[in-house]
């Protein structure tokens, strides 16, 4: 039985059906994924990565995480690991407020929880180390598959303002965390989109980020929700599979193919698209599909340039219309759902 299939990108993937057919204990090893009967699962080639993250004040009252001193951004850097790896994060708090870093999806002890409840945070000016572990899929008797850590996750503050980090989240202390399974296809570009109350990456249209890619580039989107509101993430002209990777694993993969997905506080998902696949280049919108939210500024542009990087016809005009667009000022979270839309769309294609 051949348990490895090679896709057109030359990556090895464990065929789901083969995995399900293999009874008993499986050993999943790194690199080219192999199945070994009769051995416990183990994380081959697992590494411990040590990184330093700086939490810093930014202009406009924001606070961000960064990998260098003076390098903080909103959202913070995309952190990545393979299943089995450990991330040892030294968080330097350069601010005068208590804060922390709290991950979703990975394994950690109470000391690395990031919550005041567990006395796990950085006091003002303090440096503290947090350890995030991860594991590969294992099986136990009865063909029960214990999931690995792989997924599109995220991290955020859990101590600023309140015991839940409500103040830190509002100011921008959040970012994407990706745990990959060995053999996963890697992207050419990555985009983090955070719907945070009525803001996208703490901005409102037309100042929301414009993401760019060239036709055919493999673009990985990581979408994260924060705040206190219900959102739906929609990307124009592109679609993805509603599963772990966002890509179908074969012709009988039962995953739904979607172009719109709930993005609620604390949730995250990710997927990869080939920019402009089947539709061509252009200025495509991404936005919250809760109408009162898109109308009040939760919208932005995914600019797919020609394959050679030049602008496709009409794209600059579309961008100009978007930027000339009148949006009502983003209001407080509570007021947003009750307001009526007042602006007319310019024509980037709804």
Residue 205 interacts with Cu ion (CB under 5 A): yes or no: no
Contacts of 206 (CB under 8 A, 6+ apart): 322, 323, 324, 325, 327
- Residue closer to Cu ion by CB (options 268, 288) is 288
Candidate list 13, 171, 182, 231; residue touching Cu ion; CB under 5 A? 231
Q: What is the footprint of Cu ion within residues 270-309 (CB under 5 A)?
A: 288, 290, 293
Cα separation, 58 vs 73, whole angstroms: 8
Query: Nearest-CA neighbor of 134 among 170, 100, 161, 107?
Result: 107
**Least Å distance between CB 296 and Cu ion?**
9
Q: Minimum CB separation from Cu ion for residue 240, in Å?
A: 19
- Closest approach of Cβ 227 to Cu ion, in Å? 9
Residue (of 227, 210, 235) closest to 294 by Cα position? 235
Cis ω before 206 (30° cut-off from 0): yes
With respect to Cu ion, which residue has the nearer C-beta, 229 or 319? 229
Number of residues that bind Cu ion (CB under 5 A): 4
Complex with Cu ion: residue 245 or 294, whichever CB lies closer? 294
CB-nearer residue toward Cu ion: 128 or 226: 226
Residue holding tokens 């950085």? 122
Written as six digits, the tokens of 36 are: 């070994």
Q: Quick one: which segment of 43-51, 71-79, 230-238, 310-318 binds Cu ion (CB under 5 A)?
A: 230-238
Rounded Cα distance, 257 and 246, in Å: 9
Output 191 or 288, the one with its CB closest to Cu ion: 288
Cα 162 to Cα 116, 132, 305: the distances in Å are 9, 23, 43
Contacts to Cu ion from residues 122-151, by CB under 5 A:
none
Q: CB of residue 191 vs Cu ion: minimum separation in angstroms?
A: 18
- Minimum CB distance to Cu ion, residue 329 (Å): 16
DSSP 8-state symbol, 323: H
Residue whose entry in the numeric block shows the structure tokens 């990869």: 272
Nearer to Cu ion, 35 or 288 (CB): 288
Residues 77 and 63: their CA atoms lie apart, in Å, by 13
Part of the chain binding Cu ion (CB under 5 A), chosen from 47-55, 89-97, 144-152, 229-237: 229-237
Q: Minimum Å distance from CB 8 to Cu ion?
A: 36
If the CB atoms of residues 189 and 203 are measured against Cu ion, the closer one turns out to be: 203
C-beta closer to Cu ion: residue 14 or 290? 290
Which is nearest to 338 in space by CA: 290, 301, 306?
290
Min dist CB 298 to Cu ion, Å, is: 5
88: Cβ contacts below 8 Å, ≥ 6 apart: 48, 49, 50, 51, 129, 130, 131
Q: Looking at 58-66, 182-190, 203-211, 223-231, which segment touches Cu ion (CB under 5 A)?
A: 223-231
305, 212 in Cβ contact below 8 A?
yes
Rounded to a whole number of angstroms, the minimum distance from the CB of residue 229 to Cu ion is 6
Report the residue number, 49 or 289, with the smaller CB distance to Cu ion. 289
Task: Kindly state the smallest distance separating residue 52's Cβ from Cu ion, in Å.
Answer: 34
Q: Which stretch binds Cu ion (CB under 5 A): 119-127, 149-157, 172-180, 228-236?
A: 228-236
Q: How far apart are CA 342 and CA 334, in angstroms?
A: 18
CB 168 within 8 A of CB 303: no
Q: Which residues bind Cu ion (CB under 5 A)?
A: 231, 288, 290, 293
């Amino acid at each position: 039985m051949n348990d490895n299939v090679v896709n057109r990108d030359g990556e090895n993937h464990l065929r789901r059906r083969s995995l399900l057919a293999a009874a008993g204990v499986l050993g999943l090893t790194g690199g080219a994924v192999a199945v070994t009967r009769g051995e416990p699962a183990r994380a081959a080639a697992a590494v411990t990565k040590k990184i330093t993250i700086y939490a810093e004040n930014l202009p406009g009252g924001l606070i961000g995480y960064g990998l260098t001193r003076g390098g903080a951004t909103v959202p913070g850097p995309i952190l990545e690991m393979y299943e089995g790896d450990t991330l040892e994060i030294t968080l330097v708090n350069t601010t005068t407020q208590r804060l922390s870093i709290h991950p979703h999806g990975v394994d950690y002890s109470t000391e690395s929880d990031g919550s005041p409840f567990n006395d796990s945070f950085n006091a003002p000016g303090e440096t503290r180390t947090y350890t995030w572990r991860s594991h590969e899929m294992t099986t136990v008797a009865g063909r029960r598959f214990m999931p690995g850590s792989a997924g599109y996750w995220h991290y955020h503050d859990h101590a600023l303002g309140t015991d839940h980090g409500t103040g830190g989240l509002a100011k921008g202390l959040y970012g994407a965390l990706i745990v990959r399974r060995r053999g996963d296809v890697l992207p050419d570009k990555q985009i983090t989109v955070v719907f945070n109350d009525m803001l996208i990456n703490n901005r409102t249209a037309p100042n929301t980020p414009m993401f760019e890619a060239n036709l055919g580039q493999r673009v990985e989107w990581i979408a994260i929700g924060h705040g206190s509101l219900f959102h739906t993430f929609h990307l124009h002209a592109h679609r993805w599979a509603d599963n772990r990777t966002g890509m179908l694993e074969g012709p009988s993969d039962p995953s739904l193919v979607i172009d719109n997905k709930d993005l609620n506080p604390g949730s995250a998902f990710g997927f990869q698209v080939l920019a402009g696949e089947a539709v061509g280049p252009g200025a495509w919108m991404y936005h919250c599909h809760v109408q009162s939210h898109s109308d009040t500024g939760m919208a932005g542009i995914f600019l797919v340039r020609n394959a050679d990087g030049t602008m496709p016809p009409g794209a600059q005009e579309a961008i100009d219309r978007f930027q000339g667009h009148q949006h009502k000022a983003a209001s407080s979270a509570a007021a947003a759902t009750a307001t009526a839309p007042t602006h007319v769309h310019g024509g980037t294609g709804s």
